[in-house]
Amino acid sequence: MDALSSFFGSQSSSRNRWSYDSLKNLGQISPAVQTHLKQKSSRVSSNYMALQFDINEKMRAILIDWFIEVHYKFQLMEETLFLTVNLVDRFLERQTVPRKKLQLVGGDIHAFGLQV
């Protein structure tokens, strides 16, 4: 984590801007951040759809296909698509969703993913 502390420690306190030297260290931070994110459990269990009583894997696939169409139509970043799919899966793992509400939940999570 030395790269993180050196990057954030080199921030100019008077103007609250990043210095050129701190931005050069950005490449060193990436592996540290990636390691940290991999350690956090953002993966869902493989059988989370078994908890859903009203929706199935095919309905989830249709929702994901809709996300992909929206992303290509509006030329959004791929990272936003990956984040949206991850958030949907994590939500479905923890909360049962009725069939009528699946697209509404997906749209809300998609809108949230665009703001992040």
pTM over 0.75: no
User: For residue 17, is pLDDT > 90?
Assistant: no
Range of the domain at 83: 48-115
Three-state DSSP class for residue 17: coil
**Residue tagged 């030395």 (tokens):** 2
User: For residue 78, is pLDDT > 70?
Assistant: yes
In a shared domain, residues 57 and 94 = yes
In a shared domain, residues 25 and 66 = no
pLDDT band of residue 80 (cuts 50, 70, 90) is confident
Overall domain count for the chain: 2
Domain CATH number, residue 80 = 1.10.472.10
In a shared domain, residues 74 and 21 = no
In a shared domain, residues 63 and 111 = yes
In a shared domain, residues 30 and 57 = no
In a shared domain, residues 54 and 23 = no
pLDDT of residue 39: 61
pLDDT of residue 46: 85
In a shared domain, residues 76 and 32 = no
Instruction: Render pLDDT for 35-61 as a digit per residue (tens, 0 to 9).
Output: 665 666 567 888 899 989 999 999 999
Phi-psi domain of 42 (left: phi exceeds 0; alpha: psi -120 through 50; beta: other): alpha
Q: Which of 2-6, 62-66, 96-100 has the lowest mean pLDDT?
A: 2-6
In a shared domain, residues 94 and 70 = yes
In a shared domain, residues 107 and 64 = yes
Q: Please, what is the average pLDDT of the chain?
A: 77
